[in-house]
Amino acid sequence: MSTKKKVLIGGAIVIAVAGLVFGGVQTYKYYQAKELVLSYQEMTLPNIKVNDQDVSEISKGQLTERLKEEIDGFENQAIEVVVNDQTFSKTLKDLGISISEDINELANEIFSIGKDLNIFEQAERIKEAPLVEYTITYSYDEALVEEWIQSIADEVYVEKEEATFKMVSSGNFEVGEGRDGYSIDTKAIINEIKTALDEQSKETITVTAEGIIDKRSKDPELLKSVNSKISTYSSSFPTGIARSKNVELATSKINRTLLMPGEEFSYTKKVSPVVASNGYLNATIFVNSQPVDGIGGGICQVSSTLYNTVLHAGIMPTERRNHSLQVGYVPAGLDATMAEDLIDFKFVNTLDYPIYINAYTQNGTLTIEFWSNEDALKGINYKPSVKTIESGKKYQTYLVGYDVNGNVVYNEYIDTSTYK
């Protein structure tokens, strides 16, 4: 056999052996890859997460169960609204939850990851284990949230009832406690719940409602402090004429007035409108210092009598004007006129206690009383003092206060009255 033939045969043998070795290696790799792939045939691939929960290397049944648990966690998420000592609760399922994914479809998708690759590609995919993340989200029915919060607001709502106060007999008073109103800010609560739900957490959401107190304008404890007549003044008027009817009507309109500390009294608001349809009659009034017939003649006697009662209670007027001519029912400088929409008589309750006005007429006498607490004037006896500047024309009025020993402890200028 020639040398050339021997070389060719030897090369062929080497190639064949090399081919057998390579084929054997490839076969080994294939079976190794196939074995790895087959081990994952009935489970999900590594490093797969749903909402940060590991769902890798589990069966399809386990995967479906994990997904269902995730959705159940959302549906059973509790939302609590705490109002004082009451807790109102609902789950997200009650509020119309809607899940972004279908469990079965998502399970099929996750389970099929990498399963469409060839053996070697699947094996490489398993070994490298790149992270695959899924997010399940939810939405809810905002209208149901709003309806629920409104139902809570309706349940806890308390309508305010003002305290009542009335004189049942001279010096005896009856106080109705009333109650403060209560409500909650539904808009704030709804916004807080929506903000928490947007975080897509399964943790219980607790919202504490801050109640809104609608306080009574009149403190019943202050009302109970009224126990003493602190001021009174009377004036006389002729009976049996139209003017007397106007005096009686205006008196009835200021009667039973209750003024809390700091509250302002307006005579015009109390007796207006001064019209026939409101019960007033034609009687003598003064226009430009001339007597003429007019609706409501006589009602200024009530404001003037009230003015004197105010001064004896140690209170300065905030608005007062004298008549153009002197009147006969109160001293000069101590009258108070009114003209609807033009002139008013006003004062503010500057005491620390309520003032109850008891006003009445009897046999031609008009009497106005101020009832308050026995300590309201702090032991001071107040009286107006009028100084004549020009007899019949000009007078200066002061408010003077005396202590129990007769010493002057208060002396305040009020104003000057000028008459024609």
* pLDDT one-digit tens code per residue, 142-177: 999 999 999 999 999 999 999 999 999 998 999 999
Return d(Cα 162, Cα 279) in angstroms, integer.
Answer: 29
Handedness of CA 286, 290, 293, 294 (dihedral sign): negative
Return d(Cα 294, Cα 291) in angstroms, integer.
Answer: 9
The angle that helices 299-312 and 242-254 make with each other, rounded to 10 degrees, is 40
Two tokens, residue 371? 């009832």
Write down the mean pLDDT value for the chain.
93
Beta strands in 215-354 (DSSP E): 228-236, 257-259, 264-266, 282-287, 290-295, 317-319, 346-348
Average pLDDT over residues 15-34: 67
Confidence class of residue 24 from pLDDT cuts 50, 70 and 90? low
* Amino acid 124: pLDDT: 94
> Domain-by-domain residue ranges, the chain?
142-221, 225-418
- Reported as a single tens digit per residue, the pLDDT across 344-378 is 999 999 999 999 999 999 999 999 999 999 999 99
- Reported as a single tens digit per residue, the pLDDT across 321-353 is 999 999 999 999 999 999 988 999 999 999 999
Is residue 71 within 8 Å of residue 136, measured between CB atoms?
yes
Confidence class of residue 2 from pLDDT cuts 50, 70 and 90? low
Q: Centre a 10 Å sphere on the Cβ of residue 38 and count the other Cβ atoms it contains.
A: 11
In whole angstroms, how far apart are CA 382 and each of 137, 167, 177, 399? 77, 25, 33, 7
Amino acid at 413: Y
The model's pTM is 0.72
* Amino acid 4: pLDDT: 56
Give me the phi and psi of 292, to 5 degrees please. -140, 165
Return d(Cα 347, Cα 314) in angstroms, integer.
Answer: 11
> Comparing C-alpha atoms, which of 93, 100, 208, 184 is closest to residue 145?
93
Q: Centre a 10 Å sphere on the Cβ of residue 2 and count the other Cβ atoms it contains.
A: 7
Confidence class of residue 28 from pLDDT cuts 50, 70 and 90? confident
331-349 burial, b for 16+ CB within 10 Å, e for fewer?
ebbbbbbbeeeebbbbbeb
Two tokens, residue 159? 């309508």
Two tokens, residue 203? 């943790």
Two tokens, residue 280? 């007033």
- Reported as a single tens digit per residue, the pLDDT across 191-249 is 999 999 999 989 999 999 999 999 999 999 999 999 999 999 999 999 999 999 999 99
